[in-house]
Amino acid sequence: MIPPPHGGRLVERRLSDSDRTRRESELAVLPTIAPALDQLYDLEKIGIGAYSPLEGFMDAATLTTVVETGRLPNGLPWSLPILLPLRRPEDRATAEGLRPGEEVALVDHHRALRGILHFEERVPFDPVTVARSAFGTIDPSHPNVADLLAGGNLALAGKVDIVAPRATAHGVAELSPRESRDLFRSRGWKDVAAYQCRNPPHTAHEYLQRTTLEREDVDGLFIHPVVGRLKTGDYRPEVIMRAYEALVRAYCANDRVVLSPLTISMRYAGPKAALFLAIVRKNYGCSRYIVGRDQAGVGKFYDPYACHRIFDEFDVGILPLRYEEAFYCRACQSTATAKTCPHPASNRVDTSQTRIRQALKNGGEIPPELLRPEVAEILRQPDVLLKEGDQ
Amino acid sequence: MIPPPHGGRLVERRLSDSDRTRRESELAVLPTIAPALDQLYDLEKIGIGAYSPLEGFMDAATLTTVVETGRLPNGLPWSLPILLPLRRPEDRATAEGLRPGEEVALVDHHRALRGILHFEERVPFDPVTVARSAFGTIDPSHPNVADLLAGGNLALAGKVDIVAPRATAHGVAELSPRESRDLFRSRGWKDVAAYQCRNPPHTAHEYLQRTTLEREDVDGLFIHPVVGRLKTGDYRPEVIMRAYEALVRAYCANDRVVLSPLTISMRYAGPKAALFLAIVRKNYGCSRYIVGRDQAGVGKFYDPYACHRIFDEFDVGILPLRYEEAFYCRACQSTATAKTCPHPASNRVDTSQTRIRQALKNGGEIPPELLRPEVAEILRQPDVLLKEGDQ
């Protein structure tokens, strides 16, 4: 069945049109903070309930239990901090004068109002402690750790209200948890499996999706690519979405698949990110969550199957569907995993992103066992990768 | 986990070596019945516990509740009668003089002792009523109905003890429920999925097997072909087993698959047979049961998905894994079902047994998308089909 949101209630905190207009007219006099892009994404996700039961950025007590126990103060599992760190000196200066209960305007880099913070407290924190808990490392070659260490040691806590979510520029509507839940219900789906991804689809990804769709306890598949802030050299968010649209159009049983982007910055926290991303998908109405090998990993920071085991430690109310690494085997003549393929690894077609990107770059042929031609066609276009300064 | 046998306890009723020797020496003076081959198979399955909790052939009270409610007198689901009908006039004559508690020798057509019946009662029954309940039809073009109508209207009830199971001639050891349970345990398997079949494996069958093996709640697969009495024109039991051995050897992750024949006569009872065959596999230690389209159907007698729905009506303590019909789709370039393939049926490669047999007969090429070459090789051999009088 469609599970209740994490904590039982879908958080929805949006300013009404009149409240928004009033705050916009008061912008000159309201204390103003300009969060980084990552935090603007989080702000929006809190407001639409993607992070239910969070109603705002975490206070010190919450940060402590999350860091120390992987749970919110009420015991509910929650694996990653959701903080509003102050990176800019002027924001830290603004913060000094805030009194509890005061309203703070949260603006983007065009100084457009994105939401209101109902200031509760300043949250001094140790980035090293937070990094060690969330990412299991303080190595600054880890991209999120580098961000965290560069982001200062002071955050603001408080509930937020957001202005209506922005339309995304990815060509596909970004559903809110309320919208995805309504859509699943209107299709008569009870059990929906979420597919987490952050790259264009290979046949190995499609294999996990199809294998999941064959389950009798799965009515539909929610393909939900994370397309928030990515790294230079990654595929552009709109390219990832176009590639998925091409896949869904040509190869998916359309009445059983919903595609929508999830605009948040990617947390490469391995197991803790897998758990976090599963909780988020529960909020979108999914009761099943596909976990492949080394989900949300980066480099060699995580045991590739730690992201499987963490679901034994924390019951987050969504059934994990844990899969081993998929590959195309020439002897099987199909995609398989070590659970189904008995042949030596020499039969496997290398499905690494690196190799495929190289072939695409050199104009080489991509075997259809690796990449659907419709997807390859999109990835061959010029200017599909993010360049320095694009975001 | 490995489920307890149906009813809670594994039935095992074998004559000790000394008891067997004594009965064999008394054969000339014991009342003797020569059951048909179907009932000799059932006798053996009762003795090794494949039909737990049954300890013998059904009495009148049990037959009544099974026919009327699909349950044993104690309420446990049980979908098909297990009777010992007397087809031969001399057996009916023998039956007339029996007193409750008397021992009856059950012999095969070589008059070798196969087991002892502890006679309880004569069971007069109406074959039409039984046919209507078990097979949903009294149409004599249904093979089991024809058998039933030709088998008379008197059966014998009583517990049985068997002589040690015969070695089968299929080239593969036939595991008993105790042996399969021990084997699963020794491999550390908790959840084993049973695959029911009665034909050599196509890629469509393999697809369901592989899809099941990818499940995180499945540790192993028990391929358990029914190779008892078959029809003239069917593949010989040993051919079916050789074909499966070839498949397992070349394409299965061996440490996750166990192959063993199940020598019983096939009940083409659609949904009721699916339920019966699932209960039997629970007795062999399986907690999951694969149910494809029109399992255990014949002709057009059953709604192809009635065999799925019956598991909603009766909880038999094994999780059904219900799949739609699988086919090879040229557009998907893989095997799929209507749940995963969006393309028109014109892209599907016809996987019917009829078509494959025709191609094999004519020496035509069999596309590897339909049949693994190693399997096709076996099916191309001469004399692979049962001829009149072979059984």
B310 touches chain A (CB under 8 A): no
Give pLDDT tens digits for B87-124: 999 999 999 999 999 999 999 999 999 999 999 999 99
Taking CA atoms, what residue in A is nearest to B209?
A340
Instruction: Kindly tell me if the per-residue pLDDT of A341 is higher than 90.
Output: yes
Instruction: Look up residue A213 and give its amino acid.
Output: L
Instruction: Band the pLDDT of A167: cuts 50, 70, 90.
Output: low
Instruction: Kindly tell me if the per-residue pLDDT of A94 is higher than 60.
Output: yes
Segment among A220-234, A273-287, B345-359 with least mean pLDDT: B345-359
Taking CA atoms, what residue in A is nearest to B370?
A333
Which residue matches tokens 């520029």?
Answer: A169
B231 burial (CB, 10 Å; 0-12 / 13-18 / 19+) is exposed
Please list the residues that pair with B160 across neighbouring strands: B117
Determine which helix (DSSP H) or strand (DSSP E) holds B360, and give its type and residue range.
helix B353-361
Q: Mean pLDDT throughout A209-224?
A: 97
- What percentage of residues in chain B have a pLDDT greater than 70? 97
- Pick A231 or A213 by higher pLDDT: A213
Which tokens sit at B351?
């996987």
B321 touches chain A (CB under 8 A): yes
Q: What sign has the CA pseudo-torsion A309, A312, A314, A316?
A: positive
Show Cβ contacts of residue B113 under 8 Å, excluding neighbours closer than 6 positions: B20, B23, B24, B27, B105, B106, B107, B163
Which residues on B lie below 8 Å from A215 (Cβ)?
A: 215, 321
A323 touches chain B (CB under 8 A): yes
Of A213, A331, A340, the CB nearest to B253: A340
Instruction: Band the pLDDT of B323: cuts 50, 70, 90.
Output: very high
The arrangement of strands across the sheet holding A327-329 comes to A334-336, A327-329, A348-349
Which residues on B lie below 8 Å from A307 (Cβ)?
A: none
Q: Give the mutation candidate from A195, A216, A255, A329 for the B interface (greatest B CB count, under 10 A).
A: A216
d(C-alpha A53, C-alpha A71), whole Å: 12
A252 touches chain B (CB under 8 A): yes
Helix A127-135 and helix A60-69: axis angle, to 10°?
40
pTM check: above 0.90: yes
Contact A156, A42 (CB under 8 A): no
Instruction: Kindly tell me if the per-residue pLDDT of B194 is higher than 90.
Output: yes
Instruction: Band the pLDDT of B36: cuts 50, 70, 90.
Output: very high
pLDDT of B170 reads 60
Determine which helix (DSSP H) or strand (DSSP E) holds B118, and give its type and residue range.
strand B113-124
Taking CA atoms, what residue in A is nearest to B334?
A334
**How near does any CA of chain B get to the CA of A344, in Å?**
11
- Pick A282 or B367 by higher pLDDT: A282
For chain A positions 166-225, those within 8 Å of chain B (CB to CB) are 210-211, 213-216
Taking CA atoms, what residue in A is nearest to B214?
A339
d(C-alpha A100, C-alpha B242), whole Å: 78
Instruction: Kindly tell me if the per-residue pLDDT of A355 is higher than 90.
Output: no
Are the beta carbons of A339 and B254 separated by less than 8 Å?
A: no
**How near does any CA of chain A get to the CA of B139, in Å?**
33
Q: Mean pLDDT throughout A278-291?
A: 98
Instruction: Band the pLDDT of A362: cuts 50, 70, 90.
Output: confident
Which residue matches tokens 């020794």?
Answer: B186
Which residues on B lie below 8 Å from A253 (Cβ)?
A: 338-342
B334 touches chain A (CB under 8 A): yes
B345 touches chain A (CB under 8 A): no
Instruction: Kindly tell me if the per-residue pLDDT of B298 is higher than 90.
Output: no
B16 touches chain A (CB under 8 A): no
Which residues on A lie below 8 Å from B252 (Cβ)?
A: 340, 342
Mean per-residue pLDDT over chain A, rounded: 93
As a whole number of Å, the CA-based R_g of chain A is 21
Are the beta carbons of A320 and B216 separated by less than 8 Å?
A: yes
Of B210, B216, B335, the CB nearest to A340: B210
Distances (CA, A) of B337 to A37, A163, A210, B205, B322: 43, 44, 10, 12, 12
pLDDT of B233 reads 80
**How near does any CA of chain B get to the CA of A217, in Å?**
9
Contact A332, A302 (CB under 8 A): no
Distances (CA, A) of A50 to A181, A190, B205: 12, 19, 41
Q: Cis ω on the peptide bond leading into residue B53 (within 30° of 0)?
A: yes
d(C-alpha A134, C-alpha A272), whole Å: 7
pLDDT of B68 reads 97
Instruction: Band the pLDDT of B391: cuts 50, 70, 90.
Output: low
pLDDT of B168 reads 62
Are the beta carbons of A253 and B332 separated by less than 8 Å?
A: no
Residue B103 CB neighbour total at 10 angstroms: 15
Q: Mean pLDDT throughout B302-312?
A: 95
B315 touches chain A (CB under 8 A): no
**How near does any CA of chain A get to the CA of B191, in Å?**
14
Which residues on B lie below 8 Å from A368 (Cβ)?
A: 333
Of A252, A253, A337, the CB nearest to B214: A337
Show Cβ contacts of residue A336 under 8 Å, excluding neighbours closer than 6 positions: A207, A326, A327, A328, A329, B210
Which tokens sit at A254?
């359309």
Are the beta carbons of A216 and B342 separated by less than 8 Å?
A: no
pLDDT of B65 reads 98
Q: What sign has the CA pseudo-torsion B329, B332, B338, B344?
A: negative
d(C-alpha B294, C-alpha B221), whole Å: 21
Which residues on A lie below 8 Å from B338 (Cβ)?
A: 253
Q: Cis ω on the peptide bond leading into residue A201 (within 30° of 0)?
A: no
Contact B156, B102 (CB under 8 A): no
d(C-alpha B231, C-alpha B298), whole Å: 12
Please list the residues that pair with A385 across neighbouring strands: A235
Instruction: Kindly tell me if the per-residue pLDDT of A231 is higher than 80.
Output: no
Instruction: Kindly tell me if the per-residue pLDDT of B369 is higher than 80.
Output: yes
Which residue matches tokens 């001399």?
Answer: B90
Which tokens sit at A276?
């976090």
Which residues on B lie below 8 Å from A334 (Cβ)?
A: 210, 334-335
Contact B193, B212 (CB under 8 A): yes
**How near does any CA of chain B get to the CA of A308, in Å?**
10
Taking CA atoms, what residue in A is nearest to B328?
A334
Nearest-5° angle of CA A108, CA A111, CA A117?
Answer: 60
Q: Phi and psi dihedrals of A58, rounded to 5?
A: -65, 145
d(C-alpha A292, C-alpha A194), whole Å: 12
Taking CA atoms, what residue in A is nearest to B320?
A216
Are the beta carbons of A340 and B214 separated by less than 8 Å?
A: yes
Show Cβ contacts of residue B357 under 8 Å, excluding neighbours closer than 6 positions: none
d(C-alpha A24, C-alpha B153), whole Å: 90
**How near does any CA of chain A get to the CA of B213, in Å?**
6
Of B286, B223, B298, B294, the C-alpha closest to B253 is B223
pLDDT of A232 reads 76
Q: Mean pLDDT throughout B150-166?
A: 92
pLDDT of A172 reads 64
Burial B155-168 (b: 16+ CB within 10 A, else e): bbbbbbbbbeeeeb
Instruction: Kindly tell me if the per-residue pLDDT of A169 is higher than 60.
Output: no
Determine which helix (DSSP H) or strand (DSSP E) holds A244, and give its type and residue range.
helix A237-251
Of B253, B333, B335, the CB nearest to A339: B253
pLDDT of A91 reads 96
